[in-house]
């Protein structure tokens, strides 16, 4: 089951991911995956410490150099990130 809070971009609910996660963990018998707003190692650690069995990285994963995207894609992502 994926728990996605209001930190996720563009398609969110009204509650932050960590309170949602903590309210759900222990209530279900399936793995719980945290999503939304996990752009740093600290965010991932917080989700895992909050009871998530794993995390789902969406937007942050687009800059990972090991993915299938072209060199021009990485250059555009880096420019967008540096301009923000």
Q: Tell me the pLDDT band of 84, cut-offs 50, 70 and 90.
A: low
pLDDT tens for 55-80 read: 988 766 665 656 666 778 777 777 77
pLDDT at 6 over 80: yes
Sequence ranges of the domains in the chain: 2-83
Number of alpha carbons in the 13 Å side-chain half-sphere of residue 58: 12
Dist CA 65 CA 51 (whole Å):
29
Contact 43, 37 (CB under 8 A): yes
């Amino acid at each position: 089951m994926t728990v996605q809070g209001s930190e996720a971009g563009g398609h969110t609910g009204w509650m932050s991911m960590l309170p949602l996660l903590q309210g759900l963990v222990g209530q279900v018998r399936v793995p719980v995956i945290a999503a939304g707003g996990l752009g740093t190692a600290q965010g991932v650690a917080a989700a895992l410490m909050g009871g998530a069995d794993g995390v789902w990285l969406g937007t942050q994963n687009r800059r990972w150099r090991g993915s299938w995207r072209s060199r021009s894609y990485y250059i555009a992502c880096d420019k967008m990130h540096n301009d923000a």
